[in-house]
Amino acid sequence: MGSEPGTFKTCGECGATIYPEHLETHRADLWEGRLLCPHCLHEKKPPEPAPEPLVALADDDKPRVVGGRSSQIHGFNVGGIGAVQAAEAPFRRPLLANTHATRCRTFHCKLTDASIMHLNSQINEWVDAHDDVEIKFAVSTVGIVEGKSSDQHLIVTIFY
């Protein structure tokens, strides 16, 4: 998107440049009569309401577990990224009670109904076990996790 010279505006709070695309997408907007950049507007706006909770599956839709553990759920290799998360290592920086994420946690599973339902259960149990966690947002992707097989995995990262 090209901009003509002189079409840029400045933030009424910090003086930062406000680009036309910021105005078009409402990332920059008027607040109490002053035009604010995305950063200043984010600080002024009250947090948006939390999204509606996801609908849980019925109990009889739970994955089947054989021998005490599901054969379709795999963790990261010991010593890798999962080892730190599994140990829940203490971090120096405290969790923040605002809209910014301080940490993240990644979960993954194979792309089957049973393993995705088990993944839901793992995420819910992890959140229930950590009262200090306030989920800020989550992202997901599909990819291959290196290991014994090259099956596609659903990878979910929760930022909190």
Query: Is the CB of residue 3 less than 8 Å from the CB of residue 12?
Result: no
Can you name the residues that pair with 69 across neighbouring β-strands? 66
Per-residue pLDDT, 47: 63
* Concatenated DSSP letters of 43-76: HHSPPPPPPPPPPPPPGGGSPP-BTTB-TT--PP
Angle at 105 between CA 100 and CA 109, to 5 degrees: 140
Can you name the residues that pair with 139 across neighbouring β-strands? 157
Determine what percent of the chain falls in helix, strand and coil, rounding each to the nearest 5: 25, 20, 55
Domain ranges within the chain, ordered by starting residue: 9-44, 59-159
Per-residue pLDDT, 91: 65
| Virtual torsion, Cα 130, 133, 137, 138, nearest 10 deg | -20
Per-residue pLDDT, 116: 92
d(CA 63, CA 76): 20
Q: What is the pLDDT along the chain (160 residues), one digit of tens a residue?
A: 444 555 778 888 888 888 888 888 888 888 888 888 888 888 877 666 655 555 444 444 444 444 444 445 544 444 444 444 445 567 666 666 667 888 899 999 999 999 999 999 999 999 888 888 888 899 999 998 887 778 899 999 999 8
Can you name the residues that pair with 83 across neighbouring β-strands? none
Per-residue pLDDT, 13: 87
Per-residue pLDDT, 81: 43
